[in-house]
A and B are shown apart, each in its own frame.
Chain A
Amino acid sequence: MSSVVTMVKGFVNGRAVEVPAGTTILDAAKKVQVNIPTLCKHADLLPSAGCGICIVKAKGNRKMLRACCTPFENGMDIVTHDPEIVKTRITVLELILSNHPTDCLICGRNNDCELQKIAADFGIRDDRFQRILAEIPADNSKGTIILDPKKCIKCGRCIDACQNMQDVWALSFIDRGFKTRISPAGDIKLSESPCVSCGQCSAHCPTGAIFEHDDTRKVWEALQDPEKYCVVQVAPAVRVAVGEGFGYPVGTNLTKKLYALFRRLGFKAVFDTNFAADLTIMEEAAEFVERFVHGKGPLPLITSCCPAWVDYMEKYYGDMIQHFSTAKSPHEMLGVMSKTYYAQKKNIDPSKIVNVSVMPCTAKKYEITRVEEMFASGYQDVDIVITTRELIRMIKQAGVEFESLADEDADLILGDYAGAGTIFGATGGVMEAALRTAYYNVTGENLKDVNFKDVRGLDGVKETEVDVKGTKVRIAVAHGLANVKYVMEKVKAAQKNNEPLPYHFIEVMACPGGCVGGGGQPYMVTDEIRKQRAKGLYDEDEAMEVRCSHDNPHIQQIYKEFLEKPLSEKAHHLLHTQYKSRPLYVK
């Protein structure tokens, strides 16, 4: 059935515009190459109408309208720029600036700040109004993201992201008027709130009010310490996003350039999280077969490689813990392999190894000390996590001409991967990779076509059925935490009513789009950008010879030499973890 789209016609700055009904004035203006400035609107989120910069005039209306949230209507005659509009915008911007600190030079968002940019674009040169700032201390209680309310312009993006996109409800506005500020409800610390460190707030913040906990200095110190043996790994989603910091087209896969870069930075071993993604698949697929074929453990099995999801599940779905895969996330597996298998093989004192993970994610910073299993090697398995955004800054600080570096390869054997490992970075990727291996585990043969296109793409919940030689496996893939409820409630309802399970296997990623849209990725992400980044990963998978984790020769080697077989006692000790129910509020 095709739905009829009603079109509306009007004018923007005298130019005829025709757009589908419901299009905002802001988007209608773009059709005729007119950019209306705005500070609070983000393509991902509902307009908050907070900043008041995007005001325009509609002929015949004595009020000015907000372009971000007003639908373009038939016969509208919009003026986006005239002396009065421009002057009003400047005054509003000056007002916002009068309530914002001027320490731009030492702010984390220096040179990458939407407020700074708009102030530059508007050519603001005076401080005409008295600077009035509230002295509110920053909240660094979480260790993953930092809340600095005095830099906040109250655009409300973080709150929309936290409440509606992620359904976490850690952030809200408290107090009112000039004293309005972002905070967990009840004016408690972030660490006492339901915050799961997904970092979507920080990825959507236009200023430095919510910022990732910067660990780059720790990395520099480790690299400069001659006693230390620094090992790096890079997550799938990072390679297709880091280029955005250097002018590459969105989605450009820079894996090999990154390897070269890491050696320039001084890392002694360069590994790839994708290898460990293959390892995760070996364990998780085995776990699924155990439960699905042999009935050892409850179904559905739910993936657990996303630490924000793990935290969310422990807080919101503590009763579903037995459904969680006990397999650790890939970078944790690589961390423990680095300090055990690799250290023994290379005869390195594991206490000297510093494992650095470059991740698209702020929650990974929390994960590395989450429970005692994260110290399975006898040491903290992963020492430092930095996000893609931090890596971009490090590259710039290092003075390396990133764009001109020649490609290099990762170090073996923890650096070699199958196509299955690389698609982990996109929503549906873990499911697809697991199905490739689970199919093999059940049937003893490889799929003819390893592509599961039904689980790809940006639909919030993807449900499908997979035929494993006559047996139907029902699966669901959810991304963006607000989409979890639908899937989980369906499972709970079936359990309660003793109905057949709606799913056997569920993948959840906390961030919309999966890790490519992670909370530690470059700013101003949109669905289009998420698609392009994911495409960078799927293209790599498509081009690879080895596409299933179990076919990765180095995976086979590590089981032969060290881990014996999936779910072996050793594998359990090193590669698995456990969960416990946690309260939403600590106080």
Chain B
Amino acid sequence: MKRILIQDTTGNLKKEKRDLHISFSTQIRDRGLTDQVQVVMASDLGVYDRGLAVKVLPEGVIYGGVELKHIPDIIEKTIVKGEKVEELVVERKNKQMRIVLRHCGVVDPESFEDYVAHDGYQGLAKALEMGPEKVIEEMKKSGLRGRGGAGFPTWLKWNLTRGVKGDEKFIICNGDEGDPGAYMDRSVLEGDPHSVIEGMMIGAIAVGATRGFFYIRAEYPLAVERVQKAIDQCYAKGILGKNIFATGFSFDIEIRLGAGAFVCGEETALIASIEGLRGYPRPRPPFPSVKGLWGKPTVINNVETLANVAYILLHGGESFGRVGTEGSKGTKVFALTGKVRNSGLVEVPMGITLREIVFDIGGGVLDNRQIKAIQTGGPSGGVIPEQFFDAPVGYEELQKLGSIMGSGGMIVMDENDCMVDISKFYLGFCVDESCGKCAPCRVGGTQMLHILNQISEGKGQIEDLKKLSEIAHAMQKASLCGLGQTAPNPVLSTLKYFEKEYLAHVLDKKCPSGKCASLVTYLITKESCTGCGMCARVCPANAITGNRQEKYTIDPDKCISCGQCYEVCKFGAVLRQ
């Protein structure tokens, strides 16, 4: 049986995807191939920049930019003759390695049978046979660490909860993915919900939990829909509920929706949210492993972490542990984005270098500009300048560089990115998302942002840099939860590696990248201007006047320093100062 998978992730092109599905189905039927070919709406195929994507199995060839007119060709060449439609082929670099995303784009996420056909629930069966101690032992061998950001060893977390006495224990899957630009958890939940359920059930066996919760943000409707469908299927098949497989193990799963507060991804705030309270973090100790949801021992694992679990049980901890570095085992999914040619989700073995990710997988920087830095770890992370791109990816390795692994955001920055501006962006995110409970984060973040704004407007003083460090230190030390403790990181790391840029803003009142509008003026040089008028056409403020035969000029009073004229001028006539 051949399969045509159509990539269906959250996003636009809804109608086009449907049309493609219908056309494929009808044409397959018209050619009498219904018995040999199945058309499936699948999840993530890892193609994000090429329009609609289709994968044909078992060949595994992926086509991008597929339109209705390509359908006959694909059926004729690939399905019937087993050849490729060369002009549509999307090349996959083999530096990637798929464990977490192993089923994404392969398995029909809405089909229980399909998941089972791909070794689904084999890990669970094995875990039921092995019993809790051996499961934890296997996890220890694997070296798997939490993929939510902190990197706490999963086996240890499970063992701690297992060791706490309690009449009832809970396991929670943290699907409140909130880092700007990150969507690996969404892709897993949408593309392979059963593997996360299976991982959660194995975790439940290990810690002795009888109830599980998926905490998924409400902005992920497709993920919620697919996870719910998968849960329903499990109940129907007797994989969830009482006395599963007659082993005496009973387990129930419910979904809880997050209402969009970033802080609810923090374990204790997440628990408060499930309890129906304001999403405020709580002091620890007590840790959730001892006193979590409704005061009961609770283990919380991230989606990506759980997606690894069934694989580990099935293939063995040792085999999993062979991938990666000494301290960081397995793979990590990154959401590669920013000024990179091929943006999208990449899953790579730990230990790969940042350079390999950006250049070999990502295809290098957009427009062949000079790369400046990579930001990892989202708003809790930091920037890593180019001189460290040969560092291997791992928890400790990134930390040493002043950033963190985080949940897997990876943003490529080029010479046009201003580090003060980047700091403002991330800090602004944390200020918006601060829950407001503790003073260091609530006021500290706002004060830091105020200072950064002053700097980017050319009103910064040299003492401000010291103030930034002082507030940052107070936030790191005195904030209650991880959000506040790490919020200053983007500022601190840019200050560390790009202090010169800050000094240029503060002392020279210049923004070297030309990003900070208040510090940049644009003017047109008479010598180079050809009078084409493009600049005047794109200017949103009507600040550019002139006519085609003569030279154009910018009225500085009207100019809002947006830089569009600079971008659009093909003759280098617009100068930025």
Contacts and interface: CB of A to CB of B under 8 A. Distances in A.
Given A95-B440, A128-B467, 5 more contacts: A55-B478, A70-B285, A98-B443, A177-B446, A178-B443
Contacts of A96: 439, 443
B474 interface: yes
B278 A92 contact: no
A91 interface: yes
A469 interface: no
A545 B467 CA distance: 69
B471 interface: yes
B436 A132 contact: no
Nearest to A69: B283
B172 to A, nearest CB: 22
Interface in B244-299: 261, 278, 280, 282-283, 285
Interface of chain B, main secondary structure = helix
B480 A52 contact: yes
B114 interface: no
Contacts of B477: 55, 63-64, 84, 88
Nearest to B484: A52
A53 to B, nearest CB: 8
Nearest to B432: A177
Contact of A91 (B437, B446, B470): B470
A91 B471 contact: yes
A248 interface: no
B442 interface: yes
B486 to A, nearest CB: 12
Given A50-B437, A95-B443, A176-B435, A66 B285 contact: no
B447 A98 contact: yes
Interface string A126-159: 0011101000000000000000000001101000
Given A154-B436, A173-B278, A66 B474 contact: no
Q: Which of A64, A98, A129, A130 has the most CB of B within 10 A?
A: A129
A132 B450 contact: yes
Interface string B476-508: 011110000100000000000000000000000
A241 B319 CA distance: 72
A129 B450 CA distance: 10
Given A64-B477, A98-B443, A52 B436 contact: no
B439 A52 contact: yes
A95 B474 contact: yes
Q: Closest 9 CB pairs between A and B?
A: A180-B436, A52-B478, A91-B474, A177-B434, A49-B283, A95-B443, A69-B283, A178-B446, A52-B440
A154 B442 contact: yes
Interface in A469-512: none
Chain A interface size, as a band, is: 35 or more
A10 interface: no
A460 interface: no
A129 B439 contact: no
Nearest to A156: B437
Contacts of B282: 49
Given A47-B283, A132-B450, A177 B443 contact: no
B384 to A, nearest CB: 22
Interface in B396-443: 431-440, 442-443
B136 to A, nearest CB: 25
B362 interface: no
A95 B438 contact: no
A129 B437 CA distance: 20
B285 A71 contact: yes
B324 interface: no
Contacts of B471: 91, 95, 129
Interface string B20-60: 00000000000000000000000000000000000000000
Given A176-B436, A180-B442, A88 B478 contact: yes
Interface string A33-58: 00000000000000111111101000
A177 B439 contact: no
Contacts of A50: 437-439, 480
Nearest to B480: A49
A96 B471 CA distance: 12
B533 interface: no
B447 A95 contact: yes
B444 interface: yes
A167 to B, nearest CB: 15
Contact of A51 (B280, B433, B438): B438
Contacts of A66: 283, 480
Contacts of B479: 52
A132 B447 contact: yes
A95 B446 CA distance: 10
A23 interface: no
Given A52-B439, A173-B278, A178 B473 contact: no
A92 B474 contact: yes
Nearest to A97: B443
Interface in A53-80: 53, 55, 63-64, 66, 69-71
A172 interface: yes
A175 B283 contact: no
A179 interface: yes
A53 B479 CA distance: 10
Contact of B438 (A49, A89, A98): A49
A49 B269 CA distance: 14
Interface in A525-577: none
Q: Which of A49, A87, A130 has the most CB of B within 10 A?
A: A49
A116 interface: no
Given A95-B471, A95-B474, A99-B443, A177 B431 contact: yes
B341 to A, nearest CB: 36
B446 to A, nearest CB: 4
A63 B476 CA distance: 9
Contacts of B485: 63
B267 to A, nearest CB: 15
Contacts of A177: 431-436, 442, 445-446
Nearest to A172: B278
A153 B439 contact: yes
B283 A154 contact: no
Given A52-B479, A96-B439, A88 B473 contact: yes
Nearest to B286: A71
B396 to A, nearest CB: 14
Contacts of B283: 47, 49, 66, 69-70
Contacts of B467: 128-129
Contacts of A51: 438-439
A173 B436 contact: yes
Contacts of B261: 176
A351 B445 CA distance: 59
A57 to B, nearest CB: 9
A473 B17 CA distance: 78
Nearest to B451: A130
B282 to A, nearest CB: 8
A128 B467 CA distance: 9
A178 B447 CA distance: 10
A341 B532 CA distance: 100
A524 to B, nearest CB: 21
B489 to A, nearest CB: 15
A11 to B, nearest CB: 19
Contacts of B442: 99, 154, 177-178, 180
A84 B474 CA distance: 10
A87 B442 CA distance: 19
Contacts of B280: 173
A281 to B, nearest CB: 43
9 contacts: A49-B283, A64-B477, A92-B439, A99-B442, A177-B434, A177-B442, A177-B445, A180-B437, A180-B442
A84 B438 CA distance: 19
A41 to B, nearest CB: 11
Nearest to B440: A52
Interface string B197-235: 000000000000000000000000000000000000000
A51 B444 CA distance: 12
A132 B445 CA distance: 12
